[in-house]
């Protein structure tokens, strides 16, 4: 790594955090290089994400969401919104406001 690049990295606000986390090392990654082999990049990202994925946390989050927003309530609200929208667009007032007679 050349001196100019190292200086740029050392002036980055995340420099200290990064070096503490990576045994005092710092490096630069050119993101445009990731696009040279998209399947390989996808495999790399997904394999690393899979190492940290905890399905129990996902299940817990889904259950909390369902408790807060029961599917039947969401369905009812969506159905009402669609009905209200249909009434609006089929009303003469809405058409008149938009220049239709």
Same domain, 32 and 20: yes
Structural domains counted in the chain = 2
Instruction: Quick: pLDDT tens for 62-80.
Output: 999 999 988 888 899 999 9
b/e code 44-80 from CB counts within 10 Å (16+ = b): eeeeeeeeeeeeeeeeeeeeeeeeeeeeeeeeeeeee
37 and 59 housed in the same domain: no
Residues 11 and 46 in one domain: yes
Domain around 27: 3-51
- The answer to whether the beta carbons of residues 18 and 26 sit under 8 Å apart is yes
Closest residue by Cα to residue 4 from 28, 22, 21: 28
pTM of the prediction?
0.36
H helices present in 14-100, as ranges: 15-21, 38-52, 55-68, 71-90, 92-97
Whether 85 and 59 share a structural domain: yes
Average pLDDT of the chain? 88
């Amino acid at each position: 790594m050349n001196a100019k690049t190292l200086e740029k990295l050392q002036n980055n606000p995340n420099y200290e955090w990064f070096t503490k986390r990576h045994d005092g090392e710092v490096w630069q990654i050119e993101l445009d290089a990731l696009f040279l082999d998209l399947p390989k990049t996808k495999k790399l990202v997904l394999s690393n994400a899979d190492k940290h994925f905890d399905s129990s946390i996902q299940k817990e989050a889904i259950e909390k969401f369902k408790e807060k927003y029961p599917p039947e309530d969401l369905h009812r609200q969506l159905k009402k919104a669609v009905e209200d929208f249909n009434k609006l667009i089929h009303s003469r007032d809405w058409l008149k406001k938009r220049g239709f007679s």
